[in-house]
Amino acid sequence: MRISSLLTAIAVGAALASVTPGARAQGPIDCRLSYSMAGWSVFYKTSSGQGTVSCSDGQRLAVKISAKGGGLTFGKSRIDDGVGEFSGVYNIRDVLGGYASAEAHAGAGKSTKAQVVTKGSVSLALVGKGSGWDLGVSFGSFIITAR
């Protein structure tokens, strides 16, 4: 009875060991965020928007985006046709969550914005074109949730 239980435990352990490394052995996938967002700042900075994450393995996910923070910052802006490139993603769900952000910004009229935000081993490089005016330095969070 003990030998059969031991053999069952070894078989289950071997099966789990062969499944788990296989999931990570495929390597990271390429994921891209297409987004738009708008917001304002007067010491406190807030903006929100939406987008779609598309990955090289065919997965797609509609997302909501929000950014919140503070610092010496003033302005109002809008980003249309923004693009983000993720790194360190193994599953599309890895993109969800809160990212740390810091930025220095200045712009008036039509402008371009670039920023990199991180969450553990996942990074997101953002680029967007838009309009508005802003000036300052801010720190905060960039949050992606599923719609």
Total domains, the chain: 1
The answer as to whether 44 is a domain residue is yes
The span from the CA of 92 to the CA of 95, in Å, is 6
Domain containing residue 65: CATH number: 2.40.128
Start-end of H helices in the chain: 2-25
Q: Would you state the pLDDT for residue 141?
A: 92
pLDDT digits (tens, 9 = 90+) for 102-138: 877 677 777 777 788 999 999 999 988 888 878 777 8
Structural domain of residue 64, as residue ranges? 28-146
Domain membership flag for residue 17 = no
pLDDT at 9 over 70: no
Closest to 100 (Cα-Cα) out of 118, 125, 75: 118
Domain assignment of residue 69, yes or no: yes
d(CA 46, CA 34) in angstroms, rounded, equals 19
Given this model, what pLDDT does residue 60 score?
Answer: 97
Query: Strand, coil or helix: what is 88?
Result: coil
Q: For Cα atoms 52, 76, 72, give the angle at the middle one, nearest 5 degrees.
A: 110
Top pLDDT among 105 and 76 is at 76
pLDDT confidence bin for 2, thresholds 50/70/90 = very low
pTM: 0.77
Distances (CA, A) of 145 to 37, 52, 67: 14, 11, 12
Summarised one tens digit per residue, pLDDT across range 22-43 is: 344 478 999 999 999 999 888 8
58: in domain: yes
**Predicted confidence band at 85 (pLDDT cuts at 50, 70, 90)?**
very high
End-to-end CA distance of the chain: 51
Residue 1 lies inside a defined structural domain of this protein: no
